[in-house]
Amino acid sequence: MSECTHDCSSCGESCAERTEPQSLLKELNPNARVGKVYGVVSGKGGVGKSMVTSQLAVIMNRRGRQVGVLDADVTGPSIPKAFGVHGQAVGSEQGIYPMLTPGGIQIMSTNLLLPNETDPVIWRGPVISGVVQQFWTDVLWNCDYLFVDMPPGTGDVSLSVFQSIPLDGIIVVASPQDLVSMVVEKAVKMAEMMEVPIVGLVENMSWVACPDCGKKLYLFGQGKTAEAAKRHNLPLLAEMPIDPALAALADAGKIEEFQGDWLDAAANILEQ
């Protein structure tokens, strides 16, 4: 065997450095502090993943925790609008400062880096993945809990988050339509392949309260997400309703004013 020059590109040998799996995890900014990191994922779009992320962040903030939200949905960011945060983030030689919501939640999103928040992000996959990684490596987080609002599906950005950010677990969000089984299956299998723990499932748009009697009406049927959770030996963390008042708060940028205990059980598990 020839002497190792540590230049693998010109080497034909199969040494340990080349055959052992290499970690792709990125280092947190040395001036930042992050406790637990949880990803909020879904197998498809439109199921309310950002809504679940926002509410979990608000609940943990109300419990006196320092909370951050990393908006990894680069091409469809909605976190800043839900919290009523506008403008552009600033930085220093140490890194980029996350912007604060009225309640003190730290957030970082592509919307906070664009000259105009309505400008479309027309970037290719590798560039988008690089931006998400920089949200981890360059931002000056100071939080006990960091929630990562993931893009839908199992594409480049989701893979980049799983590989580059040390997730303590993920929460899978689904809706109760007939596709729920297949959608949950994809998200769960990806997490298992990436060896990331699954905290549990949240069913959004599960029911609506009758305006006259308050009875729960299950518009899309009942129990589909619970069946999927049971099949994968996962807890069903919450069944969240369709609530026009909640949607109105998000549209007005006042999600921190929401009232509801649907995700309290999920927050308890994250604290444990």
Q: Strands (DSSP E) along 91-153, which ranges?
A: 99-100, 106-108, 142-149
Q: Rounded to 10 degrees, what is the CA torsion of 260, 265, 269, 272?
A: 90
Residue given tokens 């994250």 in the structure block: 270
Q: What is the mean pLDDT of residues 23-45?
A: 91
Q: What are phi and psi of 223, to 5 degrees?
A: 90, 0
| Contact in structure between 270 and 36 (CB atoms under 8 Å) | yes
Tens of pLDDT, residues 169-226: 999 998 887 666 677 778 888 888 888 999 999 999 988 988 888 898 988 888 778 8
Structure confidence at residue 8 (pLDDT): 58
Strand partners, 143: 34
Structure confidence at residue 146 (pLDDT): 98
| Contact in structure between 201 and 185 (CB atoms under 8 Å) | no
Structure confidence at residue 3 (pLDDT): 60
Structure confidence at residue 1 (pLDDT): 47
Could you give the CA distance from residue 252 to residue 121 in angstroms, rounded to a whole number? 23
| Contact in structure between 246 and 261 (CB atoms under 8 Å) | no
Could you give the CA distance from residue 40 to residue 172 in angstroms, rounded to a whole number? 6
199 vs 16, residue with greater confidence: 199
Tens of pLDDT, residues 90-122: 999 999 999 999 999 999 999 998 888 888 887
168 vs 5, residue with greater confidence: 168
Structure confidence at residue 13 (pLDDT): 61
Distances (CA, A) of 179 to 93, 176, 186, 188, 228: 47, 8, 11, 14, 11
Count other Cβ atoms within 10 Å, centred on residue 62. Answer: 12
Tens of pLDDT, residues 128-159: 889 999 999 999 999 999 999 998 876 778 88
Contact partners, residue 113, CB within 8 Å, separation at least 6 = 88, 89
Could you give the CA distance from residue 54 to residue 106 in angstroms, rounded to a whole number? 11
